[in-house]
Amino acid sequence: MKSNTLIEKLNKDVAIAHKQHKDALQIRVEGTKIVNELPDFITSIDWYVFRKQYKNEWYLETFIVGEETGDELVKLLKLWGVFRMKPHYKAFNNTWCFECSAMIGDIELTIKIDGGSKPPNCTIEETKEMKEVITYKAICPETGEEL
C-alpha cells in the first residue's frame, strides 16, 4: 500500500480510537464496581454524567430534576451518609443544585443533584454590575487616518 501523510493520519486516528475503546472498557469495569456499592435510590434514576475524574475520584450528576425530586434526593443522600453537602444558586435560570461527596471504599464520589428548593438560610440579592468597555482604533501614522 502506498504510504503518505494522509494514510499515516488515518492509521494514527485508528490507533487513537483503539486506545480510547480499551480505556473505556477499563473505566466500565471500575465504574461497575462503584455502582454495585450504591443504594437503589441512586442507581434507579437517570443520570446525566457518570465519569472518572482522577485515579480515586468519580463524578455523578443528574439531569435537571426539579424542586420536589431534588429535595427528596438530597434528603436520601443525607440519610445515606454523604458529606460536604453544599447548595449552589444558578442565577441564569433561578434554580438550585446541591453537591456532596461519598466514599465508596477508597473512591471519592462527588454527586451533584441539579434541582431542589432554596435552602432556608439562603437569600437571593439583586446585584448590578457596571462593566467598562475598552475599544481600540488603528491609526496610520503617515496619513493620520483611522483604519
pLDDT in tens, 66-106: 899 999 999 999 999 999 999 999 888 889 999 999 999 99
Residues 109-121, mean pLDDT to the nearest whole number: 92
Q: Does one domain contain both 44 and 28?
A: no
Number of domains in the chain: 2
Q: Are 94 and 144 in contact (CB under 8 A)?
A: no
Same domain, yes or no: 123 and 97 = yes
83-90 β-sheet, strand order: 47-54, 57-64, 107-114, 95-104, 83-90
Pair (136, 123) in one structural domain: yes
- Are residues 75 and 9 part of one domain? no
Cβ neighbors of 108 (< 8 A, separation 6 or more) are: 56, 57, 58, 101, 102
pLDDT of amino acid 1: 66
* Averaged confidence pLDDT in the chain: 91
Neighbours of 18 (CB within 10 A): 10
Q: Which residue, chain included where needed, has cell 453537602?
A: 85
Of the candidates 61, 35, 37, 34, the one whose C-alpha atom is nearest the C-alpha of residue 50 is: 61
Q: 11: domain range? A: 1-36
Task: Compute the residue count for the chain.
Answer: 147
Adjacent-strand bridge partners of 110: 59, 101
Are residues 32 and 48 part of one domain? no
- Pair 117, 134 in one domain: yes
Average of per-residue pLDDT across 115-120: 88
Residue 117 has pLDDT above 70, yes or no: yes
Q: Identify the band that residue 138 occupies on the pLDDT scale cut at 50, 70 and 90.
A: confident
> Are 81 and 141 part of one and the same domain?
yes
User: Is the same domain home to 136 and 64?
Assistant: yes
If asked whether residues 57 and 29 sit together in one domain, one would say: no
Distance CA 99, CA 70 (A): 11
